A and B are shown apart, each in its own frame.
Chain A
Amino acid sequence: AQSVTQLGSHVSVSEGALVLLRCNYSSSVPPYLFWYVQYPNQGLQLLLKYTTGATLVKGINGFEAEFKKSETSFHLTKPSAHMSDAAEYFCAVKRAGGTSYGKLTFGQGTILTVHP
């Protein structure tokens, strides 16, 4: 079984400050890992994903995440927050093989607030 834990349901930063959203996963097989962003009253939009290869993944809007197998982590970062980054962020894991491997298992989400 897979699971995702996002540390901190709410994160608040000042505009221009570093954004760090934490995600730890549990998976019995090598995982594929995803970060999605959800703006109010909208669906989920993919920020970035890790499948294989380079463990530092760059995504849209200046976000990046690093897959650390030894720490079972996939933390999301952005060097300088913008007001437009205020949204809810979801980390998700998918099995890399086996049955039902299309299924995404999501964390509970982290609401990011950006203060001027």
Chain B
Amino acid sequence: EAGVAQSPRYKIIEKRQSVAFWCNPISGHATLYWYQQILGQGPKLLIQFQNNGVVDDSQLPKDRFSAERLKGVDSTLKIQPAKLEDSAVYLCASSLGDRGRETQYFGPGTRLLVL
């Protein structure tokens, strides 16, 4: 089966610009996650969707980050305006559901550099 798809793979922008990332989860997966991975650290959850509803966005900087999941399938994550500290890899993951034992499958990530 096809894995989690993300685009673009790389993005370079200047601070205060806006940027958007796209994720297509594995077919049939109801739960979708966006993680931020800063260099030298483990991934940190930004937002979790169950179908098209938000389950957890407690660590999403809502003054500049937004995310949506249209029709419970694809998702976009937007940063506006970007700051230098937003330089990171943004990982999308999906799972069949949100029960603890289910495996999360990760996409290749989008590497963002803010200059």
> A residues near B, CB below 8 A?
4, 9, 32, 36, 41-46, 49, 51-52, 90, 92, 94-97, 100-109
Indicate if the CB atoms of B40 and A102 lie closer than 8 Å.
no
Indicate if the CB atoms of A102 and B106 lie closer than 8 Å.
no
Tell me the bound Cα distance from A95 to B48 in angstroms. Answer: 15
Known contacts A102-B33, A109-B41: A43-B108 contact under CB 8 Å: yes
Asked whether B61 is an interface residue with its Cβ less than 8 Å from the other chain, the reply is no
Indicate if the CB atoms of B42 and A101 lie closer than 8 Å.
no
Residues in A whose Cβ lies below 8 Å from that of B104? 46, 102, 104
What is the minimal beta-carbon distance from B54 to any residue of chain A, in angstroms? 11
Chain B contact patch, size range: 20 to 34
Indicate if the CB atoms of B43 and A94 lie closer than 8 Å.
no
Q: Which residue of B lies closest to A44 (CB)?
A: B106
Known contacts A43-B4, A96-B100, A100-B55: A108-B91 contact under CB 8 Å: no
Tell me the bound Cα distance from A92 to B91 in angstroms. Answer: 15
Asked whether B45 is an interface residue with its Cβ less than 8 Å from the other chain, the reply is yes
- Sampled A-B contacts (29; CB under 8 Å): A43-B91, A43-B106, A43-B107, A43-B108, A44-B93, A46-B103, A46-B105, A49-B101, A49-B103, A90-B43, A92-B42, A94-B100, A96-B100, A100-B56, A101-B98, A102-B33, A102-B48, A102-B55, A102-B98, A103-B45, A103-B48, A104-B45, A104-B104, A105-B45, A106-B43, A106-B44, A108-B40, A109-B40, A109-B42
Residues in B whose Cβ lies below 8 Å from that of A45? 106
